[in-house]
Amino acid sequence: MIEKAKQMAEITISKKIIRIAFLCLFMVTNLNVGFAASRIKDIVDIENLRTNKLIGYGLVVGLNGTGDNFGTSQFTKQSMQTLLTHFGINASQMEISSRNVAAVMITAELPAFAMSGTTIDVSISSIGDSKSLQGGVLLATNLLALNGIEYAVAQGPVSIGGYLAEGKAASITTGIPTVGRIANGAIVERELEIDFAGRRTLKLGLKNPDFTTAKRITRTINAFMAQRIAKTLNPNTIEISRPTDYRGNMVDLITEIEQLRVEVDQVAKVLIDEQTGVIVMGQNVRVSQVAISQGNLTISISEAPLISQPAPFSNGTTQEVPRTEISVVDNSDNSLAVLDQGISLNELVDGLNALGVGPRDLISILQSIKALGAMQAELIIM
């Protein structure tokens, strides 16, 4: 038994030495690659570590005549009558015409592992014909998950980012006064029961799925732990098994490996937003040898009519004399540019800028290069 204990101690010491050596090698490597590598915690999502969406329906009261019109928003009137009935007031036969109440939807995000008593922020949005939620107070409202279970209760004064000022003949609106927020406006009443520390296995999901990046993460984790505890299931998922001889729990294990750095591999993509003219190209974009000529024919037509006035005491009439100015700009002197095979992103941009093309023309050129089959990248048009 004593010999076996010594062997186990020697194995443990050997693994610690390997980890220290790996960290030293890791630090030296990072001095060379600079900031090219990213932390594992920044490029993966950990299983069960996510927020949960909550939603609720409630009433905002105390509005200064900017609430819902009970004549058009019947659901607000019915909700108000139900509320008064709950407090012993028979309002079913009453004619309520107040515009100090607004029906709203409440949304919030329940953080992972939120304890009972924790406060979270809530967003308030009007669903009726309310003009503004300024000065309103949200009454106690249950916040439910999509499964119908209550997890929090929201209540408090609503803070809005805009305002509404109006008179009989004019009005001014800044921002969106029908949307508000209550900081720490909801209290968590029910906890999500998740035994994270006692888990034996855990999955990591890549935020940008990629075979190469997933394999690099697996190799980095296994090298750091000096044993094969991680395996790549697919380009999106990596499974980690807690070692049997590991003294800590899953929290300690994740804490150790999430700081490791891995160089992320990117798929060659070109993203084009035709509405704004924004073009974003990745560093792995390559273009085969092509010849490009860019020329535009621009025709501008402007109307500047003149007014002809008759002489005094004459029988003439005032007439409009049309005057049209037409200008034509033909960029036909642009030469044919040749882009060499396998050029990089910088060379591609420099070559296109040499032609003097604008963002709109650049979009057309990139689409033409892709249609020709000369661009080795995925073209995404938004």
pLDDT one-digit tens code per residue, 29-55: 444 444 468 899 999 999 888 889 999
pLDDT band at 365 (very low <50, low <70, confident <90, very high): confident
CATH topology of domain 2-48+196-263: Gyrase A; domain 2 (3.30.1360)
Strongest mean pLDDT among 11-20, 25-34, 347-356: 347-356
135 vs 329, more confident: 135
- DSSP result, 19-72: HHHHHHHHHHHHHHHTT-EEEHHHHEEETT---EEEEEEEEEE--SS-S--TTT
Greatest pairwise CA separation for the chain in angstroms:
129
170-178: long-range contacts (C-beta < 8 A, 24 or more apart)? 177/66, 177/131, 177/132, 177/133, 177/134, 178/125, 178/126, 178/130, 178/131, 178/132, 178/133
Say if residue 181's pLDDT is above 90: yes
Average pLDDT rounded to a whole number, residues 241-259: 87
* pLDDT for position 140: 95
What would the mean pLDDT of 10-21 be, rounded to a whole number?
51
Give the model's confidence band at 223: pLDDT under 50 very low, under 70 low, under 90 confident, else very high: very high
pLDDT at 167 over 70: no
**Percent of the chain predicted with pLDDT > 70:** 72
pLDDT band at 240 (very low <50, low <70, confident <90, very high): very high
pLDDT average, residue stretch 352-365: 72
pLDDT at site 29: 46
Mean pLDDT is lowest, of 155-159, 295-299, 364-368, for 295-299
Instruction: Give the SS3 label for residue 349.
Output: helix
**37-41, 289-293, 334-338: range with lowest mean pLDDT:** 334-338
277 conformational bin, left if phi > 0, alpha if psi -120 to 50, beta if neither: left
pLDDT, position 33 = 43
Model confidence at 297, pLDDT cuts 50, 70, 90, reads very low
State the pLDDT confidence band at 356, using cuts at 50, 70 and 90: low
Q: What is the pLDDT averaged over residues 61-72?
A: 89
The pLDDT value recorded for residue 70 is: 86
pTM score, two decimals? 0.65
The pLDDT of residue 4 is above 60: no
Q: Where in the chain is the domain with CATH 3.30.1360?
A: 2-48+196-263
Nearest to 211 by CA among 232, 231, 226: 232
pLDDT of residue 364: 79
Give the pLDDT confidence score for residue 34 in this predicted structure: 42
231 contact partners, CB below 8 Å, separation of at least 6:
218, 238, 239
Among the ranges given (91-95, 261-265, 275-279, 339-343), the one the predictor scored with the smallest mean pLDDT: 339-343
- Among 18-27, 225-234, 249-258, 279-288, the least confident range: 18-27
Q: Are strands 52-61 and 44-46 parallel, antiparallel or unpaired?
A: unpaired
